[in-house]
């Protein structure tokens, strides 16, 4: 078996690749469903129904998609510049923590500032916290050549422990009966609900707006050009006079900020406070979403909705048939690997026999 480079990559193939990967994923995972002793067709139908079957289901899916769009964007923009940010999980948590630090009801009242001022400050703090957490790995990569994958991964553990420390210490909610939970955010700072009697909040609009903004930046600005050039060929970009280091650092700040905002959204839009199980791996799922989207900022929205649907659908499905909801994680992971292969096949043709 060997690979032969295609001279041109067709647009159709690029659109087809994620669909093929998802189809393949569901075929493979059908085996697991069958192994768990459930009827495959019914299980998948339940999964679909749980994700889209009712107004409530759709609302739940959109609620889940909100942080996923942001972590997906964080991964997509970083991967575009070939900065492998695997630390979105940690960045999300520190973003959430920063939101509470600014907007929390410390000592029962919180900061004595107008909500109109405090709200942007809270967003800024969350974004900044995430951005700063990625700045270290990016800087080490540029200055010392330290692999950012391992450093950003290790920082996830550090960040989570730091959050745990704060929840035990200065930000502990005294009324939480010993549960590791932060003080609540001021009610005035909570995101508005978009639909009545659901959990969909205006963080979704923020995520969608940022997707469009990132798309515009990548396509129409000199920074976007530098981002793409640095990712595709850093030496070539440096020769052309593009500021490679500055571009990578800016990219790190943007990527970390997006992940940090995902944390802000979870606190101010959904939970109201920080817990240690706030994110069921949204940061890691962001990587899958970015790959499924082919790193396209608008594609991220669709891919995030897909992953959100799988997570929400699996939860609801597992309550009916005896398939553990861990199947959702398996589906997401398989989709990532399948997408890697599918993306490769858009650029290469598989040939049997030798060159």
Contact 224, 53 (CB under 8 A): no
Q: Is 237 in the site for another protein (CB under 8 A)?
A: yes
User: Measured from the CB of residue 197, what is the shortest distance to another protein in angstroms?
Assistant: 32
Would you give the DSSP letter of residue 108? G
Q: Is 353 in the site for another protein (CB under 8 A)?
A: yes
Residue 324, SS3 per DSSP: coil
Rounded to 5 degrees, φ, ψ at 5 are -65, 135
Complex with another protein: residue 177 or 355, whichever CB lies closer: 355
Return the residue of 212, 236, 280, 351 that touches another protein, per CB under 8 A.
Answer: 236
Q: Which two tokens stand for residue 242?
A: 């593009």
| C-alpha to C-alpha distance for 218 and 290, rounded to whole angstroms | 15
Complex with another protein: residue 112 or 277, whichever CB lies closer: 277
Tell which positions 89-108 bind another protein, by CB under 8 A.
Answer: none
Alpha-carbon distance values, 310 to 72, 333, 336, 347 (Å): 15, 12, 13, 28
Q: Is 157 in the site for another protein (CB under 8 A)?
A: yes
Return the residue of 108, 169, 174, 178 that touches another protein, per CB under 8 A.
Answer: 169
Rounded to 5 degrees, φ, ψ at 344 are -65, -40
Angle at Cα 279 formed by Cα 20 and Cα 17, nearest 5°?
A: 10
| C-alpha to C-alpha distance for 39 and 323, rounded to whole angstroms | 10
Tell which positions 276-335 bind another protein, by CB under 8 A.
Answer: 284, 287-288, 291, 322-324, 326-327, 329-330, 332-334
Return the residue of 228, 271, 302, 320 that touches another protein, per CB under 8 A.
Answer: 228
User: Measured from the CB of residue 187, what is the shortest distance to another protein in angstroms?
Assistant: 30
Q: Which two tokens stand for residue 186?
A: 């001021």
Tell which positions 2-21 bind another protein, by CB under 8 A.
Answer: 2-3, 5, 7-9
Select the span of 65-73, 122-130, 145-153, 301-309 touching another protein (CB under 8 A). Answer: 145-153
| C-alpha to C-alpha distance for 167 and 44, rounded to whole angstroms | 39
Select the span of 41-49, 60-68, 143-151, 185-193 touching another protein (CB under 8 A). Answer: 143-151
Complex with another protein: residue 32 or 248, whichever CB lies closer: 32
Return the residue of 19, 27, 117, 341 that touches another protein, per CB under 8 A.
Answer: 341
* Positive/negative CA dihedral, 138, 140, 143, 149: negative
| Residue 4 CB coordination number (10 Å) | 10
Compute how many residues bind another protein; rule: CB under 8 A. 71
Return the residue of 124, 140, 302, 320 that touches another protein, per CB under 8 A.
Answer: 140
Contact 263, 91 (CB under 8 A): yes
Select the span of 93-101, 116-124, 152-160, 267-275 touching another protein (CB under 8 A). Answer: 152-160
Complex with another protein: residue 125 or 290, whichever CB lies closer: 290
Complex with another protein: residue 55 or 319, whichever CB lies closer: 319
Residue 96, SS3 per DSSP: helix
User: Measured from the CB of residue 149, what is the shortest distance to another protein in angstroms?
Assistant: 5
Taking each helix axis from N to C end, the angle separating 88-103 and 244-265, rounded to the nearest 10 degrees, works out to 60
User: Measured from the CB of residue 70, what is the shortest distance to another protein in angstroms?
Assistant: 19
């Amino acid at each position: 078996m060997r690979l032969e480079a295609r001279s041109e990559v067709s647009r159709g193939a690029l659109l087809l690749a994620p669909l093929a990967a998802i189809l393949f994923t569901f075929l493979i995972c059908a085996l697991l469903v069958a192994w768990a002793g459930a009827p495959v067709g019914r299980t998948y139908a339940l999964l679909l129904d749980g994700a889209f079957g009712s107004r409530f289901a759709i609302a739940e899916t959109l609620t889940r998609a909100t942080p996923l769009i942001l972590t997906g964007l964080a991964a997509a923009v970083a991967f575009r510049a070939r900065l492998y940010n695997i630390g979105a999980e940690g960045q999300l948590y520190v973003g959430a923590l920063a939101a509470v630090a600014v907007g929390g009801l410390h000592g029962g009242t919180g900061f004595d500032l107008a909500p109109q001022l405090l709200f942007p400050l809270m967003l800024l703090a969350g974004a900044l916290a995430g951005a700063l957490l990625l700045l270290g790995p990016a800087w080490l990569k540029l200055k010392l050549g330290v692999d950012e994958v391992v450093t950003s991964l290790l920082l996830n553990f550090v960040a989570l422990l730091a959050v745990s420390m704060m929840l035990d210490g200065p930000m502990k909610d005294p009324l939480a009966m010993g549960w590791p939970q932060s003080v609540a955010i001021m009610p005035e700072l909570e995101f508005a609900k978009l639909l009545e009697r659901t959990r969909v909040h205006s963080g979704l609009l923020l995520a969608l707006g940022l997707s469009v903004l990132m798309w515009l930046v990548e396509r129409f600005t000199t920074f976007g050009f530098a981002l793409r050039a640095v990712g595709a060929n850093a030496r070539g970009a440096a020769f052309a006079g593009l500021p490679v280091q500055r571009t990578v650092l800016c990219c790190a700040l943007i990527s970390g900020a997006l992940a940090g905002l995902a944390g802000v959204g979870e606190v101010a839009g959904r939970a109201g406070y920080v817990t240690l199980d706030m994110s069921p791996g949204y940061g890691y799922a962001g990587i899958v979403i970015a790959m499924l989207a082919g790193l396209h900022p608008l594609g991220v929205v669709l891919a995030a909705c897909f992953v959100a649907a799988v997570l929400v659908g699996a939860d609801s499905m597992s309550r009916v048939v005896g398939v553990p909801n861990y199947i959702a994680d398996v589906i997401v992971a398989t989709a990532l690997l399948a997408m890697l292969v599918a993306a490769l096949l858009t650029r290469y043709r598989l040939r049997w026999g030798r060159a």
